[in-house]
Amino acid sequence: MDEFMTAAIAEAKQGQDEGGIPIGSVLVKDGKVLGKGHNKRVQDGDPVTHAEIDCLRNAGRIGSYRGTTLYSTLMPCYLCAGAVVQFGIKRVIVGESETFSGAREFMESHGVEVIDLNLDECKNMMQRFIHINPQLWNEDIGK
């Protein structure tokens, strides 16, 4: 596992420590972290503060997203995949998609390379959270 996925996992753990949903994200270009974020829907009372959105907000205005890679501990949903496509991010690396399949096909249909690392650490973190907080998880994914 590389340092960027490790940073995304640290963001996910921070979110969970804050009472939120353990999903983290990191935006990288040329080996440098431009922004990090985690799901803050619970903490901020904001239904759209998903990890990837928080990460992009924290990166700020960077002009072009050409050459960036977005890391996420979980396969992005359609909201976050829409942001990926909108900003022209062409590579997304995810920790896992077993607990949530997300919008992989949508991103790929728009020319985004999606790499699923299928990491046990990410799966176990989400499975534990979903088991303990099924209602909160269902709210997060719109069920």
Please name the residue ranges forming H helices in the chain.
3-17, 41-44, 51-59, 78-87, 104-109, 120-132, 134-140
Residues composing the chain:
143
Order the strands of the 113-116 sheet from edge to edge: 32-38, 24-29, 68-72, 91-94, 113-116
Indicate if 11 belongs to the active site: no
Compute the distance between CA of residue 120 and CA of residue 118 in angstroms, rounded to an integer: 7
Residue of 3, 52, 96, 98 marked catalytic = 52
Compute the distance between CA of residue 47 and CA of residue 71 in angstroms, rounded to an integer: 21
Q: Which residues are catalytic?
A: 52
